[in-house]
Amino acid sequence: MAHEVSPLKPAEIPSLPPVDGVRMAVAEAGIKYKGRKDVLLMVFDPGTTVAGVLTRSKCPSAPVEWCRDKLSGGEARALVVNSGNANAFTGMKGRDAVATTARVAAEAVGCEVAEVFLASTGVIGEPLDPAPFETVLGGLAKQAKPDGFADAASAIMTTDTFPKRATAKVDIDGTEVTICGIAKGAGMIAPDMATMLGFIVTDAPIAAPALHKLLKRLTRDSFNAITVDGDTSTSDTVLLFATGKAAERGAPLIDDAKDKRLKAFRRALGTVMGELARMVARDGEGATKFVTVEVGGAKSKKSAKRIAMAIANSPLVKTAVAGEDANWGRVVMAVGKAGEPAERDRLAIWFGDIRVAVDGERDPEYSEKTVSAYMKTPEIVIRVDLGIGDGKARVWTCDLTHGYIAVNADYRS
Amino acid sequence: MAHEVSPLKPAEIPSLPPVDGVRMAVAEAGIKYKGRKDVLLMVFDPGTTVAGVLTRSKCPSAPVEWCRDKLSGGEARALVVNSGNANAFTGMKGRDAVATTARVAAEAVGCEVAEVFLASTGVIGEPLDPAPFETVLGGLAKQAKPDGFADAASAIMTTDTFPKRATAKVDIDGTEVTICGIAKGAGMIAPDMATMLGFIVTDAPIAAPALHKLLKRLTRDSFNAITVDGDTSTSDTVLLFATGKAAERGAPLIDDAKDKRLKAFRRALGTVMGELARMVARDGEGATKFVTVEVGGAKSKKSAKRIAMAIANSPLVKTAVAGEDANWGRVVMAVGKAGEPAERDRLAIWFGDIRVAVDGERDPEYSEKTVSAYMKTPEIVIRVDLGIGDGKARVWTCDLTHGYIAVNADYRS
pLDDT of A99 strictly over 50: yes
Distance from CA of A308 to the nearest CA of B (A): 14
The pLDDT, as a whole number, for residue B1 is 42
Q: What is the pLDDT of residue B189?
A: 57
Contact A123, A151 (CB under 8 A): no
Q: B307 to chain A: nearest residue by CA?
A: A58
Lowest average pLDDT, out of A230-234, B4-8, B71-75, B319-323, goes to A230-234
Which of B59, B342, B408 is facing A320, going by the closest CB pair?
B408
Concatenated DSSP letters of B200-242: EEE---B-HHHHHHHHHHHHHTTGGGB-SSSPPPS--EEEEEE
Instruction: Specify whether B397 is catalytic.
Output: no
pLDDT (average), residues A186-190: 62
Identify the pLDDT of residue A192: 39
Q: Which of B199, B201, B210, B202 is nearest to B177 (CA)?
A: B202
pLDDT at A413: 39
- Helix and strand tally (H, E) in chain A? 11, 15
User: Who contacts A345 (Cβ-Cβ below 8 Å, separation ≥6)?
Assistant: A359, A360, B91
| Mean pLDDT, residues B79-96 | 91
The architecture in CATH of the region A22-282 reads 4-Layer Sandwich (3.60)
**SS3 of residue B408 by DSSP:** helix
Q: Does B287 score more than 50 pLDDT? A: yes
Binding-site annotation: residue ranges of A for substrate: 158, 184, 195, 285, 408, 413
CB contact under 8 A, A229 and B315: yes
Amino acid of residue B179: I
Given pLDDT bands bounded at 50, 70 and 90, which one contains residue B193?
very low
Q: Where do the structural domains in chain A lie, given as residue ranges?
A: 22-282, 290-409
Q: Which residues of A touch B412 (CB under 8 A)?
A: 320, 325, 327, 329
State the amino acid at position B339 in one-letter form.
Answer: G
Are the C-beta atoms of B250 and B69 separated by less than 8 Å? no
- Identify the active-site residue in B175, B195, B227, B232: B195
Chain B nearest CA to A273, separation (Å): 23
Residue B390, sorted as left (phi over 0), alpha (psi -120 to 50) or beta, turns out to be alpha
Report d(CA A178, CA A143) in Å as an integer: 23
Q: State whether B89 and A324 contact (CB < 8 Å).
A: no
Catalytic residue from among A178, A195, A227, A237: A195
More confident residue, A158 or B379: B379
CB A292 within 8 A of CB A396: yes
Closest by CA to B142, choosing from B103, B105, B109, B107, is: B109
B320 chain-A contacts, CB cut-off 8 A: 408-409, 411-412
Range name among A12-21, A201-210, B153-162 with the lowest pLDDT average: B153-162
pLDDT for A306: 92
Q: What is the pLDDT of residue B212?
A: 93
Please compute the mean of the pLDDT values over residues A254-265 and round it to a whole number: 94
According to the model, what pLDDT value does residue A191 have?
A: 38
A409 vs B93, B314, B319: nearest CB: B319
Q: Do A57 and B337 touch (CB under 8 A)?
A: yes
Q: How far apart are CA A216 and CA A51, in angstroms?
A: 9
Half-sphere exposure of residue B210: CA atoms within 13 angstroms, side-chain side: 17
Shortest Cα–Cα distance, B330 to chain A (Å): 7
Q: According to the model, what pLDDT value does residue B410 have?
A: 64
pLDDT at B102: 97
Closest residue to A329, CB basis, from B89, B192, B408: B89
- Average pLDDT in the A97-110 region? 97
pLDDT in tens, B1-53: 456 888 888 989 999 999 999 999 999 999 887 888 999 999 999 999 999 98
pLDDT above 70 covers a percentage of chain B that reads 95
Asked whether residue A244 carries a pLDDT value surpassing 80, the answer given is yes
Vertex B166 angle, CA B160 and B168, to 5°: 175
CA-CA distances (angstroms) from residue B256 to A103, A205, A268, B74, B344? 68, 72, 66, 15, 44
The predicted structure's pLDDT at residue B119: 93
Share of chain B above pLDDT 90, in %: 66
Q: Residue A188: its pLDDT value, please?
A: 64
Mean of the per-residue pLDDT values for chain B? 90
- Residue A238's pLDDT is 85
Predicted pLDDT at A193: 37
pLDDT at A278 over 50: yes
Same CATH topology for B22-282 and B290-409: the answer is: no
Task: Report d(CA A245, CA A178) in Å as an integer.
Answer: 10
Least confident piece of the model among A176-180, A302-306, B88-92, B201-205: B88-92
Q: In chain B, what residues touch A330 (CB-CB under 8 Å)?
A: 124, 231
The CA–CA distances, whole Å, from B342 to A87, A192, B31, B388 equal 19, 17, 50, 7
Angle at A280 between CA A276 and CA A281, to 5 degrees: 120
| Over residues A90-112, mean pLDDT | 95
Q: How far is B208 from chain A (nearest CA, A)?
A: 28
Inter-chain CB pairs, A–B, below 8 Å: 239
- Residue B194: phi and psi, rounded to 5, are -90, 55
Percent of residues, chain A, with pLDDT higher than 70:
95
Residue-level pLDDT at B413 = 39
Closest A-chain CA to B188:
A316
Of A56, A124, A333, the CB nearest to B233: A333
| Range in A309-313, A362-366, B341-345, B403-407 with the lowest mean pLDDT | B403-407
Best mutation target, A54, A55, A59, to test chain B (most B CBs within 10 A): A59
- Residues of chain B contacting A357 with CB distance shorter than 8 Å: 89, 125
The CATH architecture annotation of domain A290-409 reads Roll (3.10)
Contact call for B231 and A341, based on CB within 8 A: no
Integer Cα distance of A336 and B89 in angstroms: 11
Contact (CB<8Å) B323/A59: no
Determine which of A255-259, B165-169, B182-186, B332-336 has the lowest per-residue pLDDT on average.
Answer: B182-186
| Inter-chain residue contact B231 with A316, CB threshold 8 Å | yes
pLDDT at A379 over 90: yes
Q: Which residues of A touch B322 (CB under 8 A)?
A: 405, 409
- Which residues make Cβ contacts (< 8 Å) with residue B72, sequence separation at least 6? none
Q: Please give the pLDDT value at position B324.
A: 94
Residue B134 pLDDT > 70? yes
Percent residues over pLDDT 90 in chain A: 66
Contact between chains at A405 and B408 (C-beta distance less than 8 A): no
B322, B336, B347 member nearest A409 (Cβ): B322
- More confident call, A413 vs B220: B220
